[in-house]
Amino acid sequence: MKKSLLLVALLSAGVAFAAPPAPHQGGIESKDYKWNAQEGEKIEALKLKGDKKNGQEAYEVCGACHLPSGAGRPDGTFPQLAGQHTTVLIKQMADIRAGLRDNPTMYPFAATLTDPQELADVSSYIESLCIPVEHGKYEGADAAMQVAKGKELYEKQCLECHGKNGEGDKAKFYPVIAGQHYKYLLRQMTEIRDGHRRNANPDMVKVIKPYTNDQLVAISAYQSSLVMPGNMCKPKAGGKKK
């Protein structure tokens, strides 16, 4: 029954998108902004044990954009989700539902999740997915140079939070960036630097604020090259190992 309702919601996406957007609340620009306030449905969901089976069912709506594998789109329109920490997924979905992160495309789908338990369930399922080996990377003729420049920047200011292999930190709500699409990374870092992502971590804003566009290209190129040993999808049978 629940699965049928979710499929109906997906097929009715045009109607869902016509619904009012989430209410706006104070964000990074507000003096009272607290990046990770311990309140609301986010905290309720974090206390619950996610059920992967139920989460797989709820994820059917998400898979329309992020793909059943959680791979997202290489052009950066939809991020790679597979293997992401449950803490990060719960926080971001709760922020979108509460109007703290502006994402009118995602909002109607996030709104179909009925309660904190469903947030926990779908996050648990997504976290269990292997991270695709093939994803959108920087493809310019100067790729080697950009990756090298980005590596230097990353190791100076990003490694402490996001880890050597882009593994992030589940306990601190720092996302996995290994396997993420280059164009998505570049867009998000540009929005964070320019103050357009209202639920951004102020510590990251301070780090990224001085970066030039060229530096953002380089660091995104490097980040998109990262892999997490043991978390990546296995090569397909009969295919060449990556």
Residues 6 or more apart whose CB falls under 8 angstroms from that of 13 comprise 64, 108, 109
Domain coordinates in residue numbering, the chain: 2-128, 143-223
Burial class (CB in 10 A: 0-12, 13-18, 19+), 103: middle
Residue 174 pairs in a beta bridge with: 169
The C-alpha atoms of residue 81 and residue 93 are separated, in whole angstroms, by 12
pLDDT of 24 reads 63
> What pLDDT tens digit does each residue of the chain (242 aa) get?
444 444 444 444 444 444 545 556 678 878 788 889 888 899 999 999 999 999 999 999 999 999 999 999 999 999 999 999 999 999 999 999 988 898 989 999 998 898 999 999 999 999 999 999 999 999 999 999 999 999 999 999 999 999 999 999 999 999 999 999 999 999 999 999 999 999 999 999 999 999 999 999 999 999 999 999 999 998 776 554 44
The Cα–Cα gap between 175 and 183 comes to 17
Q: Note if the pTM is more than 0.85.
A: yes
CA dihedral 49, 87, 135, 192 (to 10 degrees): 160
* The pLDDT value given to residue 9: 43
What is the SS3 assignment for 240?
coil
**CATH superfamily of this structure's domain 143-223:** Cytochrome c-like domain (1.10.760.10)
Q: What is the reported pLDDT for 22? A: 56
What's residue 34's pLDDT? 86
d(CA 151, CA 12): 44
Domain 2-128: CATH class, spelled out: mainly alpha
In 12-138, which residue ranges form alpha helices assigned H by DSSP?
13-17, 40-46, 52-66, 86-98, 107-110, 116-128
Q: Would 2-128 and 143-223 be classified into the same CATH topology?
A: yes
